[in-house]
Amino acid sequence: MTQAPLATRLDGLLFFPVTAYGPDGALDLETFRAHVRAGVEAGAAAVFACCGTGEFHALTPEEFHDCVAAAVEETAGRVPVVAGTGYGTALAVRYARLAERAGADGLLAMPPYLVVADQEGLLRHYTALAAATSLDVIVYQRDNAVLTPDTVVALARVEGIIGLKDGVGDLDLMQRIVSAVRSEGLDLLYFNGLPTAELTGRAYRAIGVALYSSAVFCFAPDIALAFHRALADGDDATVDRLVDGFYRPLVELRAKGRGYAVSLVKAAVRLQGLDVGEVRPPLSEPAPAHVEELAGIIARGRALLAPGADAGRER
């Protein structure tokens, strides 16, 4: 059966699974499959496999292919699978072709490795990547790959580039990008790609960026989905309650350690009963005290979903 275009299928909460490793540090595909399966059954709109949360940087090409193929098999066409790709252009193309061979529906193009390229170089990089496979591409701007509005307009004209994910957090820049692309009569999907995107969800929606990646969905899909519904419905009371009692404390905990945007998420998945293993070097595990604090934050988040939680907050 022919699937609808990827751009029309990315409507809902986006799931970025962690990559599971066994006690020996080797890839644990069975646990990864269970993680993906649970996310899809919980209501994920798409699976973004082997991206930032999935430790793309730590995977060999062979492991990458096997993880993407496992995600494709587990979703069985119910939701799209988007695979990460990155490094320099040659390697990014290699990973893109591995993702295509594994059956992925699209690519999330992470920043090139190490170098700080100019706008022309970035445009050449993403244009070459889009031409390398039949897969649609979402460009992830962050760190050493921050794009000007003119460059994004040029990318929007490239066949196969369908979206821009923002990991910078500069709302002025994003507003100018959205306006520039719209003024040229072009279409792009926009994603809030900050590490805990829910915290800035309302601000991004105000400038036309409604889609976002949710790391919280990895370990607390009930909280993530409740927030997503409240944000979409304009339920400010629920949004405020979850931001104040769950998301802000989570972000403040994440700021206590380097690499916590990944390692803390993985620890949270383990806390929920699925042993996905530890992060690979060069990342390291969160401090035990921080894992204990994390458990308390998750418990408080779930308590805020209980009937009457809002009334209790107002007293």
What are the catalytic residues?
140, 165
Evaluate whether 211 touches 10 at the Cβ level (below 8 Å): yes
DSSP 244: I
- Residue 43, classed as helix, strand or coil, is coil
**CA–CA separation, 273 and 254 (whole Å):** 21
**Residue 47 near residue 17 (C-beta atoms within 8 A):** yes
Asked if 122 contacts 154 with a C-beta cutoff of 8 angstroms, the reply is no
| Eight-class DSSP state of 27 | B
| Helix 288-303 and helix 221-233, axial crossing angle in degrees, nearest 10 | 50
Query: Helices 171-183 & 149-156, crossing angle to 10 degrees?
Result: 40
Q: How far is CA 263 from CA 85, 209, 235, 282, 285, in A?
A: 20, 27, 31, 11, 6
**At 72, which helix (H) or strand (E)?**
helix 61-75
Beta-carbon contacts of 184 under 8 Å, excluding residues fewer than 6 positions away, are 153, 156
161-166-171-176 Cα dihedral, nearest 10 degrees: -20
3-class secondary-structure state, position 110:
coil
